[in-house]
Amino acid sequence: EAEVAQSPRYKITEKSQAVAFWCDPISGHATLYWYRQILGQGPELLVQFQDESVVDDSQLPKDRFSAERLKGVDSTLKIQPAELGDSAMYLCASSPGTGGDLVLYNEQFFGPGTRLTVL
Amino acid sequence: DAKTTQPPSMDCAEGRAANLPCNHSTISGNEYVYWYRQIHSQGPQYIIHGLKNNETNEMASLIITEDRKSSTLILPHATLRDTAVYYCIVRPGGSKLTFGTGTQLKVEL
């Protein structure tokens, strides 16, 4: 069964350092999402891509976070510099995201996440 | 403003049905009810969705009241592997998912 891949699974860094997370969506999925999940809370959408274009980055702290999906396939989320409050799980999800009935429910498939700890 | 209200936690005996409630009194006509769950240290997993009619799949059943102001997710024979946080989300089709804090379901022997 096709899955969303993420790496690394765990990352420990010191504040002010740069970190990057990678996501490979399910093959053929046009829409890719990055979420942040703070312990005890539900995931929060950071950025949504449709192919290589950003559709929604309204919750992305753009002073330190950046995301790209250059060829419309895999994606990288970067934090520079990392702060203590960035400690969280970073989840990637993908969905078919094409027209027709698929738009109606647009089931999202999530990867296992990257657990970031900032010291 | 929260679109859905769920109890923070529930317990269920293994083998029994788990009935997870969700209130969504301000739901709009074009909004669907979705359920996802998140097992500890994993990403969320889609379970089921519905608009007006009750729905059933291999994982669960979704019962939506006639006025659509509340719904219940039913796991007919809960197992220990069903222990997870269950999220009820209302959204127009194709729009982004907005997660609340969900219900922590604990299935016990």
Q: How does pLDDT run across B87-108, given as a tens digit for each residue?
A: 999 988 777 889 999 999 999 9
Concatenating the DSSP letter of every residue in B93-109 gives: TTSPP-----EEEEEE-
Contact in structure between B15 and B77 (CB atoms under 8 Å): yes
On the question of pLDDT at A103 being above 60, the answer is no
Nearest to B101 among A4, A42, A113 (CB): A42
Q: How does pLDDT run across B75-85, given as a tens digit for each residue?
A: 999 999 999 99
pLDDT band, residue A1 (cuts 50/70/90): confident
Nearest to B44 among A41, A43, A44 (CB): A43
Q: How does pLDDT run across B32-68, given as a tens digit for each residue?
A: 999 999 999 899 999 999 999 999 999 999 999 999 9
pLDDT band, residue A101 (cuts 50/70/90): low
Q: Which residues of B touch A106 (CB under 8 A)?
A: 93-94
* pLDDT score, position B80: 97
Question: How many inter-chain contacts (A to B, CB under 8 Å) are there?
Answer: 54
Q: What is the DSSP letter of A4?
A: -
* pLDDT score, position B93: 74
Give the pLDDT mean for B14-32: 95
Give the pLDDT mean for A93-113: 77
Kindly determine whether residue A44 and residue B99, on different chains, have CB atoms separated by under 8 Å: yes
* pLDDT score, position A82: 97
Total Cβ atoms within 10 A of residue A35 = 27
Residues of B with CB under 8 A from a CB of A: 32, 34, 41-46, 49, 85, 87, 93-94, 96-102
Distance from the Cα of residue A18 to its chain's centroid: 16
Q: How many residues does chain A have?
A: 119
Contact in structure between B62 and B48 (CB atoms under 8 Å): yes
What percent helix, strand, coil does chain A show, rounded to 5? 5, 45, 50
**CA A53/CA A64 separation, integer angstroms:** 20
Taking CA B83 as the corner, what is the angle to CA A8 and CA B31, rounded to the nearest 5 degrees?
85
Kindly determine whether residue A113 and residue B42, on different chains, have CB atoms separated by under 8 Å: yes
* pLDDT score, position B69: 95
**CA B10/CA B82 separation, integer angstroms:** 12
Q: How does pLDDT run across A17-72, given as a tens digit for each residue?
A: 999 999 999 999 999 999 999 999 999 999 999 999 999 999 999 999 999 998 88
